[in-house]
Structure 1
Amino acid sequence: MSKYSYFYRPEGIESRFELLVFDCQNQPFLPLTEHYHDCIGRIDKSSALSYIQCLLPFFTWLDQFSNYQGRQVQWDDSPDIIRIAIEDYLMNEMACKVRENDTFRFVNRTNKSPNTVNRFLSALKSFYKSLIRLKQYNHSNPLIDSYAILNDYKGHTEGVRKDKPRMPLEAGTEDATPHRRLTDSYFKLINEEWQPKIIGDIQLPYQVYQAGKKVNWSLREVVIARKLFETGARASEIIELTIGDYRSRKSLQEARTFNKGSHGKRVKFIRFSKDTVKLLMRYINKERIHYDELHRKFNDLPDEAPLFLTELGTPLTYEAWYYHWDKAMKECEIKLNPHKTRHWFVTSRLSEIYRTTKTEAEIKQKKKELIKYIKWKDEKTIEVYEHYFDEESHRKAHDGMLESMAQKEKEYMEQKKPKYRKKSKLTVIETSLDRIEIDDEIQELLDGLE
């Protein structure tokens, strides 16, 4: 069965598009093509490509299975028709439960739903934003709940007096409105707060290196894989480094790079091991030199030269690199998205902090340094990892208690039973609790025992 697909512009072909999407009839499909190129510059290329990959199955389904009053749904239909099609797709293709609520819909994933539901909705919302911005979709965005925005705005501007605006906060006559981020999504995913993936397997990097060795990774792939685990950076932040990014830092173990949302501006640095430095320099001066058009070594390369090259001598892209990563993971049956190396890094760094640091003040300071290095927009992200270590600490303490109980049980059972054992009597002391002051926490404990 034919389906929507995309291809990169071949070498030597002139076109304003570097990527072109084709429909089920193998004809160029400009709406998705235009969307991809509109995203570039607003988000990084890997995210833009991820959006396209999420949308291709939906557009294939739209062409082949969508139905509204006996006809096929078109991508540029009115918002009401598009929403009906999306709802059908969510329920029938993504195994979601969709529930009506006034002017919007609640979407709940089931155990049969893929993990991409949230990204699919974000991608489709972004698609219509792009097409509206490009003046190719002549309606409001079907993925935006305009009524909810309007009602929330009214609630923040209308006072308690009928048909009157709110008094200023300084007046003190009306309660302050709670500050919260407005959600404008028509399809609201519930019970879907993002949680970082906690990966605590200390052997994971070495399993990946072995997988690469098994499929004969080049030195380039080895260096990138090592940097992923050692730096906590995203794959694109490593792949798109330049020679100047590496030269710009004081230490040979560091490079400057961009961050998600920085639009290519170098706003942070990454740090890696001395062993990786040796491999990197060997790659530049021995492997990379064969693909550089002028066969230049490190000292002869200009700052703007890409650090990593393809075999054609062009700058390495995420897509070209991912082919080699995916091949190694499949060969060794390792299910590992490259982004999970970032979570592995954070988990490992926190573990090291707790293992080597003695005081709470030092732990707090080192966590701040980690947050600054990893460049999280929301510092609270680290709390999820903290919760992981709290649970691990509890598990160890609990295991100790269980082992102690098992030992005591064994000792008790091995004791010689006495011929006569006097029954112990339980003495109950009655007292009036209203005469005794009980601490709130103790009272809460007592209430929980009832």
Structure 2
Amino acid sequence: MTRKLFGTDGVRGTANTFPMTAEMALMIGAAAGRYFRREQGGVHRVVIGKDTRLSGYMFENALTAGLTSTGMNVLLLGPVPTPAVGLLTPSMRADLGIMISASHNPADDNGIKFFGPDGFKLSDEAEAEIEALVEAGVAPAQAGNIGRAKRIDDGRFRYQERLKGTLPHGMRLDGMKVVVDCANGAAYKTAPEVLWELGADVIPLGTSPNGLNINDNCGSTKPQAAAEAVVAHGADVGICLDGDADRILLIDETGTIADGDQIMALMAARWAEEDRLVDGTLVATVMSNLGLERFLTGRGLRLERTKVGDRYVVEAMRAKGWNLGGEQSGHIVMTDYATTGDGLMAGMQFLAEMVRTGQPASRLARRFEPVPQLLQNVRFAAGQTPLEAARVQGAIAEAEATLSGKGRLLIRKSGTEPLIRVMAECEDEALLSRVVEGIVAEVKAAV
């Protein structure tokens, strides 16, 4: 069956537009409930968290209606980071976890992410089965078997304790000044509280959500305000999270931004020194910079690349037992501690390294010199297929020939937004710019 609902990270789109409508959320909830209640008998639970989008109320209620209609008991966490759902699903012995969030997307968008009873995101096969149930329709439970819904007030605090427990026993952040930008999103209470409890002097940004300002000129997609705050306050480091707090960008004391590749390089090298990095392998996607691969190779380590999407990183990690992976965009996955990307946890590991080494953020956050990389996005309308246009395919073929032996090219359709992403790497920056702009021009002409 051709997938119409699920992308690379659950179901996502503009609120009140297919597939992100209340009616569809109800149907998805019913289908997910039926899928996870295949085994009859016993108590069946689902944990639901959300970020701070206005539409989250609508989807929370719609999903609850669909799930309870099939006999699932619903535990509502309210606004919590995505990794909290991954943690609390197995902790609360739930059959299913759901996060209502569109991550780094604008406030008008929303999404539905699923976690299995083990706290890991569902496989493509499981999502396809749920989608088939949506299409076929689901018979509701008998009246006496309808599920119940209950608000869980301390879910966030359980998650916060888990976060603190990932640092070495007794480690404190006393004397460290930290800017933390929560993107007016799911971590707007969690991140400042955890850092303060550990002793840091916290300068919070993006902690006043109103339902419409999530990711609005703040957070990991727009880190400029946080970078300015780091310099203005003389902070030691800045942590920028996205709307659901599963990704991070770091800012050193000079205001320079470090992406996920630099954070992964630091952690991989450190874990390898401690003989903690399983098989000497870091897992990342095809988007990660060639400089990261060279950095690892120079230390006798290896980079395993996957398709774009943190779920594919995690799938590769689980298949081989590897314990560290992530994406250039800032998803950092540490399966020793968590089941999915956790921006705040990764930031805390960086702070721990600052405490352990006594080195400034500027030294730790620049592990390698990145190969010049250029990424441009082209938005397209529903129903358009610009990558199938003959002129676009011709431009891509010409670019690949031009870069042969000099760099690499990656053209893909985003799995979370209606965008064509054009990325290339090359030591010759003039050539890099010419190649990317040539393809972008043809894609724009096609749309």
Q: TM-score range by the shorter chain?
A: under 0.3
Q: RCO (CA 8 Å, sep 6+): is it higher in 1 or 2?
A: 2
TM-score by length of 1: 0.24
Q: Indicate the structure with greater strand content.
A: 2
TM-score by length of 2: 0.24
